[in-house]
């Protein structure tokens, strides 16, 4: 396809403009965070004097050490739980034959689109009543999250297992291998890339989840997640723009770093997962 240089140039200009616009709000926040306090910031201002005082203040007031740790611990539990359960169930849906397969699969599809608001009220009351042992520990938030992300995970892993040519399993089966053995030694190594993508997506969803921790952890100050502590901090310090910016940066940096490391999996996962 022939293309003129002008067309290419215009295309690049449009892409640059919109790419910059996509990060400008975050960038402005980052710059503000390094500015000295006591001065209103009303624009993207590159600090004339870089200082870390806002970070010290935010860290001390916002208890971010504890909440970042909570977020990481919860996300890790949820990643392990979701990937293991999704791999097992995805294998069953893609390879094994059993009655009621389609009906059960449709049940999982429902969770793919129904937003958390439709589950939150009973979750709060029922967990208090029927799972008292979950109160005051990470399980109170990790288990509902695993359930929620399983809808996508099962769907995702079924696709991954279904993409493997059936010759591979049949050959092993005729060799006398059982379902468990086929799953563990033949198929699982082949779906490792899909599992990694799933793990990365789930980590991000868990880290950024808001409504569920807000409701479930309302009475557990020790278990608060990083986004929750940031919301609380921002409610208390509405006028402290630079301190708030520092706090927002503290909470964003881990997930942005995570994104930069795993961006291939993340972007591909979201684009593919959405299209399936």
Partner 1 sequence: MRAATRLAPLGLPRARADVATGSGAGGNETLVSSLFLAPALFAYGLFVLLPLLHTIWLSLFEWDGVSEQKFIGLDNYLEIVTNAQLAGAFLHSAVLILLYAGVAIGLALLVVAAISRSALGASGLYRTLLFLPQVVPTVVVGISWRWILAPEGLLNSLLDRLGLGFLTRSWLADFDTALIALGLVGAWQLYGLFMLMFIAGVQKISPSLYEAARLDGAGPVQEFFSVTLPGLRQELVLAVMLATIAAISSFDLIYTTTRGGPGTSTTVPALEVYRRAFAYADAGSAAAVGTVIAAIVLALVVLLGRVTRERRES
By CB under 8 A, is residue 28 in contact with partner 1?
yes
Q: Which is nearer to partner 1, 65 or 272 (CB)?
A: 272
The answer to whether residues 250 and 58 touch, using CB atoms and an 8 Å cutoff, is: yes
SS3 state of residue 48: coil
Among positions 20, 52, 163, 261, the unique one binding partner 1 when judged by CB under 8 A: 20
By CB under 8 A, is residue 252 in contact with partner 1?
yes
Among positions 46, 103, 106, 260, the unique one binding partner 1 when judged by CB under 8 A: 260
By CB under 8 A, is residue 129 in contact with partner 1?
no
By CB under 8 A, is residue 204 in contact with partner 1?
yes
Stretch that binds partner 1, among 49-57, 58-66, 173-181, 188-196 (CB under 8 A): 173-181
Contact characters 47-76, partner 1, x per CB under 8 A:
------------------------------
Query: What is the C-alpha to C-alpha distance for residues 69 and 224, in angstroms, rounded to an integer?
Result: 10
Query: Applying CB under 8 A, what is the total number of residues that bind partner 1?
Result: 111
Stretch that binds partner 1, among 46-54, 56-64, 108-116, 189-197 (CB under 8 A): 108-116
- Backbone angle region of 231, left / alpha / beta, with phi > 0 → left and psi within -120 to 50 → alpha: alpha
Structure tokens at 55: 């970070």
By CB under 8 A, is residue 221 in contact with partner 1?
no
By CB under 8 A, is residue 200 in contact with partner 1?
no
First and final C-alpha spacing in the chain: 30
Query: What is the C-alpha to C-alpha distance for residues 239 and 221, in angstroms, rounded to an integer?
Result: 24
The answer to whether residues 56 and 247 touch, using CB atoms and an 8 Å cutoff, is: no
By CB under 8 A, is residue 170 in contact with partner 1?
yes
By CB under 8 A, is residue 31 in contact with partner 1?
no
From residue 10, how far is each of 15, 23, 198 by CA, in Å? 9, 20, 37
The position carrying tokens 């004339």 is 48
By CB under 8 A, is residue 168 in contact with partner 1?
yes
Query: What is the C-alpha to C-alpha distance for residues 230 and 150, in angstroms, rounded to an integer?
Result: 27
């Amino acid at each position: 396809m022939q293309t003129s240089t002008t067309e290419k140039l215009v295309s690049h200009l449009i892409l640059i403009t919109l790419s910059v616009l996509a990060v400008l709000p975050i960038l402005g926040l980052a710059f503000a965070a390094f500015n000295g306090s006591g001065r209103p910031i009303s624009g993207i201002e590159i600090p004339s004097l870089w200082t870390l005082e806002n970070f010290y203040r935010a860290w001390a007031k916002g208890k971010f050490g504890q909440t970042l740790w909570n977020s990481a611990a919860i996300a890790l539990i949820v990643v392990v739980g979701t990937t293991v359960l999704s791999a097992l169930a995805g294998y069953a849906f893609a390879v094994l034959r059993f009655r009621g397969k389609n009906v059960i699969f449709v049940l999982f599809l429902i969770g793919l689109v129904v937003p958390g608001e439709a589950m939150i009220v009973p979750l709060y009351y029922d967990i208090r009543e029927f799972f008292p042992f979950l109160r005051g520990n990470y399980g109170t938030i990790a288990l509902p999250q695993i359930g929620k992300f399983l809808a996508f995970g099962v769907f995702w892993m079924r696709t991954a297992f279904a993409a493997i040519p059936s010759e591979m399993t049949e050959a092993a089966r005729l060799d006398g291998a059982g379902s468990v053995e086929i799953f563990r030694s033949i198929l699982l190594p082949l779906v490792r890339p899909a599992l990694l993508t799933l793990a990365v997506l789930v980590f991000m969803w868990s880290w950024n989840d808001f409504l569920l921790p807000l409701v479930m952890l309302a009475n557990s100050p020790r278990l608060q997640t990083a986004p929750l502590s940031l919301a609380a901090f921002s409610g208390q310090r509405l006028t402290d723009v630079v301190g708030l910016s520092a706090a927002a940066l503290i909470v964003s940096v881990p997930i942005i770093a995570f994104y930069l490391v795993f961006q291939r999996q993340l972007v591909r996962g979201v684009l593919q997962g959405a299209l399936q």
